[in-house]
């Protein structure tokens, strides 16, 4: 397993790429449409969405690549963060909906008379941001405590995480849960009073997403290069030996599992105002499996690899679904098989081998 500790050249490359990315909204606002240097709002939206996916992939890599815990249910944390933020966005619509009611249009359509109790205080932005952290974090803590205490691991743990996200997806598809059923939340208009369709608002959201991605990257790097990170890698490589020398893996696994869930939830919260919709399909097991593929393609256990994989796979998906819409799932499956057979260390592994071969030559 590779361990990239981010040498100076890598930090320089990250800084240059971050600076170039940060220029996109500036170019969008500075130059008019049609100008050579103008960056379209569409391109900004695509890059922003990919950054949210990259943050989710990074969160997954923390538990899979460095702790050996393969989750096939991280999509539920991503979606819960998006729903928590979406509740505030739905309340912020106010009377601008079709029915011009205090209630969201889907509640009026279903003849709801008032908000359910769990919607209380969701008109407060900071309360909803607390929900983004607390709800997925609490779910992950409780789920992980019982799973890890029972020493469920390997494929069995992966299966129950997939069952968890599937159960939540079925729950949120119901119209009587108060989350919009299969349509979910959409038609957002304002965030903290700012028009979500305004170029300036999109630019700020873009830069906030980039900041969170870089911050999460530095946080994860600090964790994996610390003593805590060495213990986590000990859990991955030989949990029984770690227990023999006096460590209790339960709390280390629980910590990294909960942190990963919270990071994935933050990715979902950043995703929803920029994409403009959240529905239960985001909880589908297929979405969680795609996160695993992003990490595998880029190179799990490297931090940078999953970010690269998220951009590469989703870029390929954008092109493939436009050119061959019926064949994408087959292509995705083939990609995962090829990576598993011939590129077990992902794109970064291939690049590292090429660099090493050049140095030897």
DSSP code per residue over 183-226: G-EE---EETTEETTSHHHHHHHHHHHHHHHHHHHHHHHHHHTS
Kindly indicate the confidence band of residue 2, based on its pLDDT and cuts at 50, 70 and 90: very low
Q: What is the pLDDT of residue 43?
A: 92
Q: What is the pLDDT of residue 1?
A: 44
Of 154-168, 216-230, 307-321, 344-358, the poorest mean pLDDT is in 344-358
- Residue identified by tokens 């979500």 is 196
Task: Read off the pTM.
Answer: 0.93
In a 3-state reduction of DSSP, which class is residue 303? Answer: coil
Among 335, 334, 289, 344, smallest CA distance to 56 is for 289
Q: What is the pLDDT of residue 3?
A: 45
252 vs 353: CA distance, rounded Å: 32
Is the predicted pLDDT of residue 296 greater than 50, yes or no? Answer: yes
Is the predicted pLDDT of residue 61 greater than 70, yes or no? Answer: yes
Two structure tokens written together for 321: 């679904």
Bigger pLDDT: 104 vs 80: 80
Is the predicted pLDDT of residue 63 greater than 50, yes or no? Answer: yes
Q: What is the mean pLDDT of residues 223-227?
A: 93
Kindly indicate the confidence band of residue 5, based on its pLDDT and cuts at 50, 70 and 90: low
Q: What is the pLDDT of residue 12?
A: 85
Is the predicted pLDDT of residue 291 greater than 50, yes or no? Answer: yes
Tallying the residues shown for the chain, one arrives at 361
Strongest mean pLDDT among 26-30, 175-179, 258-262, 313-317: 258-262
Kindly indicate the confidence band of residue 360, based on its pLDDT and cuts at 50, 70 and 90: low
Of 47-61, 160-174, 180-194, the poorest mean pLDDT is in 180-194
Q: What is the mean pLDDT of residues 127-134?
A: 97
Kindly indicate the confidence band of residue 256, based on its pLDDT and cuts at 50, 70 and 90: very high
Is the predicted pLDDT of residue 100 greater than 90, yes or no? Answer: no
Q: What is the pLDDT of residue 361?
A: 58
As beta bridge partners, residue 195 has: 190
Helices 227-244 and 199-224, packing angle to 10 deg: 50
Whole-number percent of the chain with pLDDT over 70: 96
Residues 327-355 as b/e (b if ≥16 CB within 10 A, e otherwise) read ebeeebeebbeebeeebebbbbbeebeee
Kindly indicate the confidence band of residue 239, based on its pLDDT and cuts at 50, 70 and 90: confident
Mean pLDDT over the full length of the chain: 90
Bigger pLDDT: 343 vs 265: 265
Query: Residue 28: exposed, middle, or buried by beta-carbon count in 10 A (0-12, 13-18, 19+)?
Result: buried
Is the predicted pLDDT of residue 199 greater than 60, yes or no? Answer: yes
Long-range contacts, stretch 146-153, CB < 8 angstroms, 24+ apart: 148/249, 148/250, 148/253, 148/254, 148/257, 149/250, 153/69, 153/239
173 vs 169: CA distance, rounded Å: 6
Kindly indicate the confidence band of residue 326, based on its pLDDT and cuts at 50, 70 and 90: confident
144 vs 204: CA distance, rounded Å: 35
Q: What is the mean pLDDT of residues 57-69?
A: 95
Q: What is the mean pLDDT of residues 314-320?
A: 91
């Amino acid at each position: 397993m590779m361990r990239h500790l981010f040498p100076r050249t890598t930090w320089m490359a990250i800084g240059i790429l971050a600076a170039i990315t940060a220029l996109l909204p500036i170019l969008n606002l500075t130059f008019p449409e049609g100008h050579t240097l103008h960056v379209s709002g569409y391109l900004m939206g695509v890059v922003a969405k990919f950054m949210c996916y990259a943050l989710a992939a990074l969160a997954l890599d923390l538990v899979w690549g460095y702790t050996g815990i393969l989750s096939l249910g991280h999509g539920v944390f991503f979606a819960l963060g998006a729903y928590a933020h979406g509740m505030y966005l739905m309340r912020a619509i106010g009377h601008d909906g079709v029915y011009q009611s205090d209630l969201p249009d889907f509640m009026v359509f279903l003849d709801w008379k008032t908000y359910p109790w769990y919607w209380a205080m969701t008109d407060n932005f900071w309360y909803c941001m607390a929900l983004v952290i607390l709800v997925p974090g609490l779910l992950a803590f409780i789920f992980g405590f019982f799973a890890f205490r029972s020493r469920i691991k390997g494929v069995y743990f992966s299966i129950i995480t997939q069952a968890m996200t599937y159960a939540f997806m079925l729950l949120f598809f119901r119209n009587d849960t108060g989350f919009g059923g299969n349509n979910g939340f959409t038609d957002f208009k304002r965030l903290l009073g700012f028009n979500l369709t305004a170029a300036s608002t999109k630019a700020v959201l873009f830069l906030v997403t980039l900041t969170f991605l870089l911050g999460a990257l530095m946080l994860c790097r600090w964790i994996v290069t610390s003593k805590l990170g060495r213990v986590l890698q000990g859990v991955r490589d030989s949990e029984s030996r770690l227990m023999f020398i006096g460590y209790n893996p339960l709390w280390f696994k629980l910590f990294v599992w909960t942190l990963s869930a919270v990071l994935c939830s933050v990715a979902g919260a950043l995703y929803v105002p920029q994409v403009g919709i959240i529905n239960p399909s985001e909880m589908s097991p297929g979405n969680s499996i795609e996160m695993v593929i992003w990490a595998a393609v880029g190179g799990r256990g490297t931090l940078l690899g999953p970010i690269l994989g998220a951009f590469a796979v989703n870029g390929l998906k954008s092109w493939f679904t436009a050119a061959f819409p019926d064949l994408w799932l087959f292509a995705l499956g083939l990609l995962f098989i090829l990576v598993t057979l011939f590129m077990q260390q992902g794109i970064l592994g291939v690049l590292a081998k090429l660099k090493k071969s050049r140095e030897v030559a």
